[in-house]
C-alpha cells in the first residue's frame, strides 16, 4: 500500500514543476469504478515425491466485485504521465472459493480425493498503476483524428481474500459424509508486480456519428510479472503455511468509449481484460508435522481478470 501512495504522491507534487505551464486539459483527475466478473486468482502445485502427480492441490479464489478510486494524469508537449489507485468496495465475491486435491496415487487423474467450496470475502485489497505514453503522430504522419502512442509502465496488485463457511466432500469416496467447514478457513494474500510495454490508441468517431467528441479508446500491452502469495490454512492444527515466489508474463487489453459532458467533464466506459501466468517455487511449512519443504514440481500461479470500468474525467 505504501508503494502505491508514493506513486500518486509523485504525480501530485513533482509533476507540476516539470514541463510547460499547464493549460486547460493538461491535468485530469478521474473517478474510477471497476466491476469485476468471471475473475479469479489461483495457484496449484504438484507432488514433490513419487508418483509426482501434478496438480496435487489447486486453489481458486474468485475476485468478482467492485473496486473504486482515483486516477491523476498530467499532459506535457510530447508525454503524458498518469497514475491510479483503487481499493475494493465489495466485501464479498459473488462466486465461491474452490479447493481441489488429488492426493490418491491409485485414483484416475480426473477424480478428486477432496473438494470444498466456501464463501469468499474481500479483506482490504489494492490495485495501482503508473505509466507514461508518448505522442508520435507527427513522426508517423497518422490520419487526422487517430492518435497512437507507445506506453510503458507498472501495474501493482495487493489482493487479500478470506474463505469461510464451506462444505468439504470426497469425490473418490462417495460413501463418505460431507464435512462442514465452520468459520474462517483460509486467509490468502497475493502481490503482483507487472512491468509492461504496449500501445494506446484514440480515434475521433464524431466525424462518423453525430455525437460531438465521441472517442474510441484502446490499449494492448505485455508485461513481465513477479508474484508472491501467502496461504494460511486457519482450520489446520498448529500453523500450516504455504508460499509461492513466481515469475512469468501477462497480457492486457482494453477498449472503450468516451464523450464530453461539458467543458470540464468527460464520461467513459471501458471493457478490460488481464491474463497473468507465472511459475516458480512452492514453500510448505507445518508446525504440527515439524516440516519445511521447497519444490518447483507443478507450481503454477495465474489469474484472469475481466471488468467493466466507468470513469468520470475532470479536466483542468
CB burial string 30-41: b at 16+ within 10 A, e below: bebbbbbeebbb
CA distance 144 to 142: 6
Residue 107: band (very low, low, confident or very high) from pLDDT cuts 50, 70, 90: low
pLDDT at 57: 94
Q: Which of 269, 273, 133 is nearest to 201 (CA)?
A: 133
User: How confident is the model over 120-163, as pLDDT tens digits?
Assistant: 999 999 999 999 999 998 898 888 889 999 999 999 999 999 99
CB burial string 153-186: b at 16+ within 10 A, e below: bbbbbbbbbbbbebebebebeeeeeeeebeeebb
pLDDT at 316: 86
Residue 6: band (very low, low, confident or very high) from pLDDT cuts 50, 70, 90: low
For residue 11, pLDDT beyond 70: no
Is the model more confident about 77 or about 13?
A: 77
pLDDT at 99: 96
Helix (H), strand (E) at residue 259: strand 240-260
CA distance 135 to 94: 41
Q: Would you say 171 and 111 are in contact if contact means Cβ atoms under 8 Å apart?
A: yes
Domain that holds residue 15: 2-315
Lowest mean pLDDT among 65-69, 110-114, 311-315: 110-114
> Could you tell me the CATH number of the domain that includes residue 221?
2.40.128.90
pLDDT at 103: 85
Q: Would you say 59 and 163 are in contact if contact means Cβ atoms under 8 Å apart?
A: no
Q: Which of 297, 147, 117, 303 is nearest to 219 (CA)?
A: 147
Question: What percentage of the chain has pLDDT greater than the value 90?
Answer: 76
Q: Give how many domains the chain has, as a whole number.
A: 1
pLDDT at 135: 93
pLDDT at 9: 52
pLDDT at 17: 44
Question: What percentage of the chain has pLDDT greater than the value 70?
Answer: 91
State the greatest distance between any 2 C-alpha atoms of the chain, in Å, as a whole number.
Answer: 75
User: How confident is the model over 21-62, as pLDDT tens digits?
Assistant: 445 568 999 999 999 999 999 999 999 998 888 999 999 999
Whether the CA torsion 108, 109, 114, 119 is positive or negative: it is negative
Query: What are the φ/ψ torsions at residue 286 (nearest 5 degrees)?
Result: -140, 115
The length of the chain, given as a count of residues:
316
CA distance 184 to 199: 43
Please state the pTM of the whole predicted model.
0.89
Is the model more confident about 35 or about 209?
A: 35
Asked, as a colleague might, if the bond just before 55 is cis with ω within 30 of 0, I would say: yes
Q: Would you say 136 and 148 are in contact if contact means Cβ atoms under 8 Å apart?
A: yes
E strands, 172-214, in order: 179-204
Interval 230-257 mean pLDDT: 94
pLDDT at 12: 47
Per-residue CA distances from 14 to 19, 20, 30, 129, 306 (Å)? 11, 14, 19, 17, 33
pLDDT at 296: 95
Instruction: Centre a 10 Å sphere on the Cβ of residue 98 and count the other Cβ atoms it contains.
Output: 19
For residue 205, pLDDT beyond 50: yes
User: How confident is the model over 58-78, as pLDDT tens digits?
Assistant: 999 999 999 999 999 999 989
pLDDT at 16: 47
pLDDT at 237: 84
Q: Which residues does residue 119 pair with via DSSP β-bridges, in sequence order?
A: 164
DSSP 52: -
Query: What are the φ/ψ torsions at residue 193 (nearest 5 degrees)?
Result: -110, 120
Cell, residue 209: 456519428
Amino acid at each position: 500500500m505504501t508503494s502505491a501512495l508514493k506513486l500518486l504522491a509523485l504525480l501530485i507534487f513533482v509533476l507540476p514543476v516539470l514541463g510547460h505551464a499547464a493549460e486547460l486539459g493538461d491535468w485530469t483527475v478521474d473517478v474510477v469504478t471497476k466491476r469485476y466478473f468471471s475473475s479469479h486468482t489461483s495457484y496449484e502445485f504438484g507432488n514433490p515425491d513419487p508418483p509426482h502427480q501434478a496438480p496435487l492441490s489447486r486453489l481458486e479464489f474468485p475476485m468478482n466485485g467492485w473496486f473504486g478510486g482515483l486516477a491523476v494524469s498530467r499532459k506535457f508537449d510530447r508525454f503524458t504521465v498518469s497514475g491510479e489507485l483503487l481499493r475494493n468496495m465489495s466485501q464479498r465475491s459473488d462466486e465461491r472459493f474452490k479447493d481441489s486435491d488429488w492426493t490418491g496415487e491409485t485414483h484416475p487423474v480426473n477424480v478428486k480425493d477432496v473438494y470444498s467450496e466456501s464463501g469468499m470475502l474481500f479483506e482490504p485489497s489494492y490495485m495501482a498503476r503508473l505509466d507514461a505514453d508518448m505522442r508520435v503522430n507527427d513522426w508517423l504522419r497518422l490520419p487526422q483524428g487517430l492518435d497512437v502512442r507507445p506506453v510503458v509502465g507498472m501495474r501493482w496488485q495487493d489482493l487479500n481474500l478470506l474463505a469461510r463457511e464451506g462444505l468439504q466432500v470426497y469425490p473418490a469416496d462417495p460413501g463418505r459424509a460431507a464435512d462442514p467447514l465452520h468459520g474462517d478457513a483460509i486467509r490468502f494474500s497475493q502481490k503482483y508486480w507487472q512491468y509492461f510495454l504496449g500501445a494506446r490508441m484514440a480515434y475521433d468517431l464524431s466525424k462518423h456519428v453525430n455525437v460531438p467528441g465521441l472517442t474510441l479508446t484502446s490499449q494492448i500491452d505485455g508485461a513481465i510479472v513477479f508474484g508472491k502469495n501467502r496461504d494460511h490454512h486457519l482450520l489446520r492444527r498448529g500453523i500450516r503455511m504455504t508460499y509461492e515466489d513466481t515469475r512469468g508474463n501477462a497480457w492486457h487489453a482494453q477498449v472503450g468509449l468516451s464523450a464530453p459532458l461539458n467543458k470540464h467533464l468527460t464520461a467513459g466506459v471501458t471493457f478490460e481484460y488481464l491474463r497473468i501466468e507465472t511459475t516458480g517455487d512452492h514453500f510448505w511449512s507445518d508446525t504440527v508435522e515439524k516440516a519445511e519443504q521447497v519444490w518447483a514440481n507443478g507450481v503454477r500461479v495465474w489469474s484472469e481478470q475481466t471488468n467493466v470500468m466507468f470513469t468520470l474525467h475532470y479536466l483542468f
